[in-house]
């Protein structure tokens, strides 16, 4: 099988969708960059609601405080547009003042306290007519402090990931699974095994001002993806840029626009890119704040 096409073959192309996009009306028309590679979007403001180039819709869910019936509306939204769904399930609440500690989350997963959260979400996903891929507890090897599950030892994470996939499979046997590290060299320490992974996701963000200040030179899409792809390729799975964003001047953004959907020969198993069309959630280091990745704002100086 040609792995470059597997993204579309397995469940007709896994997607990501934002619930807010269901009823949103875009304030400014935007369009996906041209190219051959499948393009997806996390699009809470609905900017890409009518773009036929989008084949993947991204949904982020906190498993503790999601209104599950609204997921059926998401399925309707996706079906109307001929897309598929990638659902990122984050094992916490989005209310920061009420979040667990890493230790409390770990104990709760080990004792089965949180099994019902995963089971309930996947039972609803099983009702979807759209193809679904689940991405649980992403960027587990990142030590920046953003995610409480990213401070675990590798064996702890692997056990938790396998448990959650097993629970989800019991409720939604047709769902695919994306294991999604940030992309660091030690990602293999957290790999849960081939039976638990259909796709490997990576994160790629280009921030021109930060690169000039911290790295001393600008980075291209291939500069950032290259080393991450080479480590991820050892698993023999289709690879997806599950979170993508870039901010810079017009020349910088144009270069990225021209690269992200190309069939680069050095990335033969790259199956899709999925853009994070929103302001960054966490400040970047070095005093650079929260970059605005949105397509209608990510060109600086204009």
Angle in degrees, CA 53, 55, 58, rounded to 5: 120
Dihedral over Cα of 99, 125, 85, 163: its sign: positive
Question: Which three-class secondary structure state does DSSP give residue 85?
Answer: strand
pLDDT at 225 over 50: yes
Please give the mean pLDDT across all residues of the chain: 89
E strands present in 76-149: 84-90, 132-136
Tell me the pLDDT tens digit for each residue of 46-83: 999 999 999 999 999 999 888 898 899 999 999 999 99
Q: Which range has the worst mean pLDDT, 99-103, 175-179, 231-235, 244-248?
A: 99-103
- Residue 23: per-residue pLDDT: 44
Contacts of 129 (CB under 8 A, 6+ apart): 75, 79
Beta bridge partners of 40: 56, 274
- Residue 286: per-residue pLDDT: 85
Q: Which range has the worst mean pLDDT, 216-230, 232-246, 288-302?
A: 288-302
pLDDT at 146 over 70: yes
Residue 206, both tokens: 């280009």
From 3.40.190.10, 2.50.20.10, 1.10.3720.10, 3.20.20.80, which CATH number describes the 3-276 domain? 3.20.20.80
Single out the residue of 176, 179, 178 nearest to residue 157, CA to CA: 179
CA–CA separation, 179 and 139 (whole Å): 9
pLDDT band at 108 (very low <50, low <70, confident <90, very high): very high
pLDDT at 29 over 80: no
CA–CA separation, 192 and 199 (whole Å): 12
pLDDT band at 98 (very low <50, low <70, confident <90, very high): low
CB 78 within 8 A of CB 85: yes
Mean pLDDT confidence for 14-22: 41
* Residue corresponding to tokens 């809470």: 44
Residue 103, both tokens: 């230790």
Q: What percentage of the chain carries pLDDT values higher than 70? A: 88
Single out the residue of 140, 184, 142, 182 nearest to residue 164, CA to CA: 140
CA–CA separation, 29 and 50 (whole Å): 9
| pLDDT greater at residue 170 or residue 7 | 170
- Residue 6: per-residue pLDDT: 32
- Residue 301: per-residue pLDDT: 82
- Residue 285: per-residue pLDDT: 87
pTM: 0.90
- Residue 100: per-residue pLDDT: 79
pLDDT at 158 over 90: yes
Sequence ranges of the domains in the chain: 3-276
Residue 273, both tokens: 């890119």
What secondary structure letter does DSSP report for 93? -
Q: How many CA atoms lie within 13 A of 36 on its CB side?
A: 8
């Amino acid at each position: 099988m040609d792995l470059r096409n597997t993204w579309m073959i397995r469940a007709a192309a896994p997607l990501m969708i934002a619930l807010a996009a269901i009823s949103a009306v875009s304030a400014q028309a935007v369009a996906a960059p041209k190219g051959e590679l499948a393009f997806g979007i996390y699009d809470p403001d609905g900017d890409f609601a009518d773009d036929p180039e989008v084949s993947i819709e991204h949904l982020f869910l906190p498993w503790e405080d999601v209104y599950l019936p609204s997921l059926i509306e998401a399925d309707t939204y996706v079906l109307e547009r001929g897309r598929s769904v990638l659902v990122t399930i984050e094992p916490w609440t989005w209310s920061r003042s009420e979040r667990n500690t890493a230790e409390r989350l770990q104990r709760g997963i080990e004792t089965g306290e949180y099994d019902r959260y995963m089971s309930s979400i996947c039972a609803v996903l099983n009702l979807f007519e759209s193809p679904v891929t689940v991405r649980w507890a992403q960027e587990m090897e990142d030590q920046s402090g953003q995610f409480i599950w990213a401070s675990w030892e590798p064996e702890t994470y692997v056990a938790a990931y396998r448990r959650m996939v097993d629970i989800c499979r019991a409720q939604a046997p047709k769902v695919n699974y994306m294991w999604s590290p940030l992309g660091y060299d030690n990602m293999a320490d957290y790999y849960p095994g081939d039976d638990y992974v259909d796709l490997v996701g990576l994160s790629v963000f280009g921030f021109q001002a930060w690169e000039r200040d911290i790295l001393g030179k600008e980075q291209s899409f291939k500069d950032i993806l290259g080393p991450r792809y080479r480590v991820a390729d050892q698993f023999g799975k289709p690879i997806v840029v599950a979170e993508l964003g870039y901010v810079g001047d017009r020349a910088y953004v144009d270069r990225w626009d021209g690269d992200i959907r190309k069939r680069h020969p050095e990335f033969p198993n790259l199956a899709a890119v999925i853009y994070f069309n929103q302001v960054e959630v966490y400040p970047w280091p070095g005093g650079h704040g929260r970059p605005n990745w949105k397509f209608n704002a990510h060109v600086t100086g204009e």
